[in-house]
Amino acid sequence: MILEVVQYGHPVLRQKGERVEAVTPPIQKLIADMLETMHAAKGIGLAAQQVGRALQLTVIDVRGVTDRPSTMAVDGAPVSVERHMPVVLLNPELTPTGPPATGPEGCLSFPEVFADITRPESVQVQAMNEKGERIEFHCGGLLARAVQHETDHLHGILFIDRMSREVKLELKPELDALQKATKAALKK
Ligand code: ZN
């Protein structure tokens, strides 16, 4: 089932997600719906907050982007990114491992808004997967960017919080208009 993706101005985007302790049937259904919603929207990541649920759950699939490389390694050995997609992360914990890198980002909750964001180039990820198993991997490039963007969502942090002051000022009219439209729609 395709879920509604909430937009900037909706309060749930600012809520810190509750930890998911077990992959129950309702969580399995939510994961399946989030994957379907992300793929339908041609996104590379979707956090539970973006479908109105304040949970530490995100889904990621970078296969749709071919011009921005990703890397992945398990126990120090490189693995196929392609074969590990989509990735489902519950309660992810990140450890930055690379120098800062700047690259363009968008967000399904901010239609038409794109900006350069600086984040560590690579991260070590520990999480639980959709089977309830502990997983750990290292990632770089676009995948590392997506993992960090989505993990931010799980803590109520948005990519606009990571923009430079100049960029945010430039985008202010657009952001204010989006926030206002979302709030007006919520009141109805
Ligand atoms: Zn986002």
Q: Could you give the 3-state DSSP secondary structure of residue 125? A: strand
pLDDT of residue 66: 87
Kindly list the catalytic residues.
150
- Name residue 120's amino acid: P
- How is residue 39 written in tokens? 């793929």
Fill in the DSSP letter of residue 109: T
Q: How far is the CA of 85 from the centre of ligand 1 (A)?
A: 18
Q: How far is the CA of 49 from the centre of ligand 1 (A)?
A: 9
Q: How far is the CA of 51 from the centre of ligand 1 (A)?
A: 11
Find out whether the peptide bond into 173 is cis, omega within 30 degrees of 0.
Answer: no
pLDDT of residue 30: 98
How far apart CA 87 and CA 31 sit, in angstroms, is: 11
Ligand 1 is an ion; residues with CB less than 5 A from it: 107
Q: How far is the CA of 41 from the centre of ligand 1 (A)?
A: 12
Domains of the chain with bracketed CATH? 11-187 (3.90.45.10)
Q: Which residues of the chain have pLDDT under 50?
A: none
Q: What is the pLDDT of residues 131-165, one digit of tens each?
A: 999 999 999 999 999 999 999 999 999 999 999 99
pLDDT of residue 188: 86
